[in-house]
Structure 1
Amino acid sequence: MGLMKILKVNTAAATIEGAPQMVEKHISERTAEEKKKENLDNVAKDILYKTLDKNMFAKIKTCTIAKEIWEKLTQLCEGNDQTKENKLTIVIQKFDNAKMKPGETLAEFDERLSGIIIELISLGKDYSNREIALKVMRALPREWDAKTIAMRES
């Protein structure tokens, strides 16, 4: 069973200061809706398990509830504040140092730069379209100078 417990008022016990005492309902007393709610943790765990590869599953297999799995995955994927800051610094450097490689097509460069921008956005750093366009123009090789000048003037 998950974390959710279905409770009922304990009519056999006296109330303390006007508040009724609650006890867990026996499984035979539960309605279909209550059984469904109680099973939500299992459903959530099943969804999480199905999305993980073998390596990630090995890291969370000791977790017992969905919330614990989610927190462990968050820690593994995002890290703490210091880890996030380090990741952001590295990705900003990748963005700043991105240049079109010799023999690379514009489509390939665009795909590579888009990947870096997606990483930046996921870490909370966002660049305007103008900043990205200027970066692309600065990253192009010298043979593109005539085109970049024309783009800058327009």
Structure 2
Amino acid sequence: MRILKVNTAAISTECAPQMVEKHHSEWTAEYEKKANLDNVAKDILYTTLDKNMFSKIKTCTTVKKIWEKLTQLCEGNDQTKDNKLTVAIQKFDNAKMKSGETLAEFDEWFNSIIIELIFLGKEYSNREIALKVK
């Protein structure tokens, strides 16, 4: 964890103050507590992620950066979310039971589409869903 302070040696009235890292000996008890919480959270994330995901975040220095990276990897940016929503809507619109598919299999597949749509911010009324399954 990096704690920053204003570099008083380089104060200028023309631009924003320059920041430098605060030496560990200058940390207050509050900074120590935050650093410890950051380490605890990192440890939890490190132990719960699989090797593949860990390799993608291991260079992140703070929990905030790890979380941002995980969010980007798992959710994607706005364009990715829009693309996922478009695909999910198309699946919903084209939902039909396949030949040889049981009702339970179709129900499980269809419900997964409904859950995905809800997760992406699109909800259908019970009536719309019932009409689609009909």
Would the TM-score normalized by the shorter structure come out above 0.5? yes
CA contact (8 A) 1:4 1:37 kept: no
Structure 2: which 5+ runs fail to align?
Answer: 5-21
CA contact (8 A) 1:88 1:120 kept: yes
C-alpha displacement of 1:4: 6.2
Alpha-carbon displacement from aligned partner over 1:28-72 (angstroms, at most 9, x marks no partner)? x976x8744431111111222233222211111111110001001
Alpha-carbon displacement from aligned partner over 1:72-123 (angstroms, at most 9, x marks no partner)? 1111111111111111101111111111111211111111111111111111
Structure 1: which 5+ runs fail to align?
Answer: 6-22, 138-154
Query: For 1:1-154, what aligned pairs fall within 5 Å after superposition?
Result: 2-3=1-2, 26=25, 35-137=32-134
Which structure: larger Rg? 1
Q: Distance in 2 between matches of 1:38 and 1:53?
A: 24
Q: Following superposition, which runs of at least 4 residues in structure 1 exceed 6 angstroms of deviation?
A: none
Alpha-carbon displacement from aligned partner over 1:112-146 (angstroms, at most 9, x marks no partner)? 11111111111111111111111111xxxxxxxxx
1:74 match: secondary structure: helix
TM-score normalised by structure 1 residue count:
0.65
Which amino acid is 2:47 matched to? Answer: K
TM-score normalised by structure 2 residue count:
0.74
Counting aligned pairs with the same residue, the percent is 74
